[in-house]
Amino acid sequence: DVVMTQSPLSLPVTLGQPASISCRSSQSLEHSDGNTYLNWFQQRPGQSPRRLIYKVSNRDSGVPDRFSGSGSGTDFTLKISRVEAEDVGVYYCMQGAHWPRTFGQGTKVEIK
């Protein structure tokens, strides 16, 4: 199985400041179809996970543009340009290039 490793696991941030989460995969996520399948999910307290970013850098509908994804191969990053109170929750990366699909451990974002 592809192992997804996130860091940090806990991220206290100040409102209005940027935040960055790293995700590394144990194998390349570049698929033979030419796409790189790395997704990011947000789970707010008491809610189901919600997909924010797909294929490394594509924002899902309704996702604010303060969220951005980047990376290639095995190294990926989710950035929040200016953290807002509604961004509190746990963020997970997930690879969709290989079976079985696997998730990172999650990064808990909280306000300082």
Partner 1 sequence: ITLKESGPTLAKPTETVTLTCTFSGFSLSSSGVGVGWIRQSPGGALEWLALIYWNDDKYYSPSLNNRLTITTDTSKIQVVLTLTDVDPEDTGTYFCTHSFRSKLSTNDFDYWGQGTLVTVSS
Q: Is 2 in the site for partner 1 (CB under 8 A)?
A: no
Determine which residue in the list 54, 67, 76, 91 makes contact with partner 1, applying CB under 8 A: 54
Contact 30, 97 (CB under 8 A): yes
CA distances from 17 to 30, 35, 70, 79 (A): 32, 32, 19, 11
Q: Is 41 in the site for partner 1 (CB under 8 A)?
A: yes
For residue 54, what is the enclosing H or E element? strand 50-54
Mask for 78-97, x = binds partner 1 (CB under 8 A): ------------x-x-x-x-
- Does 40 interact with partner 1 (rule: CB under 8 A)? no
Cβ contact 49:92 at 8 Å = yes
Q: Is 100 in the site for partner 1 (CB under 8 A)?
A: yes
Of 18-26, 30-38, 68-76, 77-85, which part binds partner 1 (CB under 8 A)?
A: 30-38
Q: What is the largest CA-CA distance in the chain?
A: 43
Which of 73, 82, 105, 111: binder of partner 1 (CB under 8 A)? 105
